[in-house]
Amino acid sequence: MVPLTHYLTLGAIMFFIGVWGVLTRRNAVIILLSIELMFNAVNITVVAFSRFLGQYTGQIFAIFVITVAAAEATIGLAIVIALYRGRDSLNVDEINLLKW
Partner 1 sequence: MELLFFYIFAGVALLSAVLVVTNKNVLHAALFLILTFFCVAAIYILLRAEFLAAVQVLLYVGAIMALFIFTILLINVMQAQFLRQFHGQRPLAGILVVALLAETLYLLLGDVRGNFPLLQDRPPETAGKAGLEVLAHLLLTDYLLLFEVASVLLLAALIGAVVLARGDLPSVDRR
Q: What is the rounded distance in angstroms from the CA atom of residue 21 to the CA atom of residue 28?
A: 10
Q: How far is the CB of 71 from partner 1 (least distance, A)?
A: 4
- At residue 27, φ and ψ (nearest 5 deg) are -85, 125
Q: What is the rounded distance in angstroms from the CA atom of residue 74 to the CA atom of residue 29?
A: 12
Q: How far is the CB of 47 from partner 1 (least distance, A)?
A: 5
The site string for partner 1 over 13-52 (x = CB under 8 A, - otherwise) reads: xxxxxxxxx-xxxxx-xx-xxx-xx--x--xx--xxxxxx
> Of 80-99, which residues contact partner 1 (CB under 8 A)?
80-82, 84-85, 90-93
Q: What is the rounded distance in angstroms from the CA atom of residue 12 to the CA atom of residue 96?
A: 31
- In the complex with partner 1, the residue whose CB is nearer, 54 or 100, is 54
